[in-house]
Amino acid sequence: MHTTHTDSTAFKLPPDVIEFRDLAKRIVREELLPLEQEFLASPKHAYGMRELPMVRAVFKPEVAERLFKIARDTGLWYLMVPEEHGGMGLSMLAQVAILEQLNYSPIPLPMANVGNILYECKGDQVERFLRPVIEGEKTTAFAQTEPNAGSDPGGMMQTKAVRKNGRWVLNGTKMWISNAAGCDFLMVQAVTDAEKRQRGGITMFLVDRHNPGMRVEEPGIRTWLGPNPTQYVVHFDDCEVPDEDVLGEVGKGFTLGQRWLTIHDRLLRGPYALGKMQRALDMSVEWAKQRVTFGKPLAERQAIQWKLVDMHIDIQSLRSMTYEMAGRADSGEDVRAEAALVKLCATEWGARCVDHAIQVHGAMGESLELPLTVFYRYLRHAQIGGGASEIQRILIARSLLKG
């Protein structure tokens, strides 16, 4: 497949990162793209499902195991795992560069999907929770959002945890929790001091999926993101959790949640969008050259050329921004406002870019045989999930005004 992707960031990436990035690029083109028709035709792929379960749900066992083996053998399985836990120890900049390539296809390469806050596990939590997630033996879900506490979880969170008979007892409801029905345990935020709330009064708990005090409503919440629900309502009714299943320190759970959101749901939206945007542009350039209307290829029409240019501008701008912010995170900067900026631009520009691609393709752009509609749904959703665009603007404004 012809691509227009220029190596615009090679000058700032070390050789070992370029080697891994190019490896990821080759795997996507040689292993994943040939499987796309089968993947897109399957009703079993769904937004929010973890990589390994999705691959195993869609493909025959031998295909799924091949992808699993490729990820393991190349080391990409441990792409985002710190060195002290058996990972590659790559910088955030390196992770961003590699993840951009992996997001070129809607098919996920199986890898260790570990929320960064799970590295706060201590003692036997490491073997019970962290290590099985790293090795793909268990999956987890992040439970912060509630029916009346979406954009303002710290101020509006109602789920509470109180000490009773030497244990924590949770009561409340969480909503829009991705992967809740299929995970092995949840990382649950609950108020432990109603006066302090987000300033030392919210704690993070590791709750086993089969805890008798927890109930997940099934079949889940139906959305336009796919035929199979992956978002759920979760109820906690006198759900008992022992002290040893508190993640981090009591009262520091909101800080942990913000750390998770800053990296996983904001900064990493950059490569998440970039891979899809670059694929959309590459497909549009190829289509414009071969599609003839009224005696001319679309590529010769200024209206189409300008859409391609607009897509290219968005990609180059977002790539520069994302790589810079990743580098600043590596240097130890507080990048909460910067991550909000990346998420805002990645999701809004990403949806706009894919929308242009659909328009360039005309009726074919709406075909479910192409990945464009899947890309669009995911990127449009990302303007809401993990903090709506309006919330990102508020965070950025606060940073500007404080400065």
Alpha-carbon span 53 to 62, nearest angstrom = 14
List, in sequence order, the alpha helices (H) in 14-145.
Answer: 15-27, 36-41, 51-58, 61-74, 92-102, 125, 131-134
Q: Which amino acid is at 291?
A: R
Question: What pLDDT score does 225 carry?
Answer: 87
Question: What pLDDT score does 403 carry?
Answer: 66
Answer whether residue 252 is part of any domain: no
Answer whether residue 71 is part of any domain: yes
Same domain, 265 and 242: no
> What backbone phi and psi angles, to 5 degrees, belong to 69?
-65, -40
Question: What pLDDT score does 3 carry?
Answer: 46
- The token duo for 292 is 């003839």
Answer whether residue 213 is part of any domain: yes
Alpha-carbon span 83 to 95, nearest angstrom = 13
- The token duo for 41 is 């035709």
Total domains, the chain: 3
**At which of 247, 279, 311 does a domain end?**
247
Same domain, 292 and 397: yes
Answer whether residue 328 is part of any domain: yes
Question: What pLDDT score does 11 carry?
Answer: 53
| CATH code of residue 228 | 2.40.110.10
- HSE (side-chain half, CA atoms, 13 Å) at 148: 6
**At which of 247, 273, 301 does a domain end?**
247
- Series of mean pLDDT values for 10-residue runs along the chain (403 residues): 48 82 97 97 84 91 96 95 92 95 97 92 97 95 91 90 96 95 96 95 97 96 87 97 97 92 92 98 98 96 98 97 94 94 98 98 96 97 93 95 84
Same domain, 242 and 262: no
Buried b (16+ CB within 10 A) or exposed e, 22-58: eebbebbeebbbebbeebbeeeebbbbbbbbbbbbbb
Same domain, 210 and 229: yes
| CATH code of residue 75 | 1.10.540.10
pLDDT digits (tens, 9 = 90+) for 234-256: 999 999 999 999 999 999 999 99
Same domain, 156 and 241: yes
Answer whether residue 124 is part of any domain: no
Helix axes 269-290, 372-381, angle to 10 degrees: 150
Question: What pLDDT score does 261 carry?
Answer: 87
Helix axes 61-74, 15-27, angle to 10 degrees: 170
Cβ pair 159, 189 in contact under 8 A: yes
- The token duo for 315 is 């990609």
Question: What pLDDT score does 4 carry?
Answer: 47
Same domain, 387 and 269: yes
Answer whether residue 357 is part of any domain: yes
Same domain, 162 and 190: yes
> What backbone phi and psi angles, to 5 degrees, belong to 347?
-80, -40
Alpha-carbon span 246 to 242, nearest angstrom = 7
Range of the domain at 390: 258-402
Same domain, 229 and 198: yes
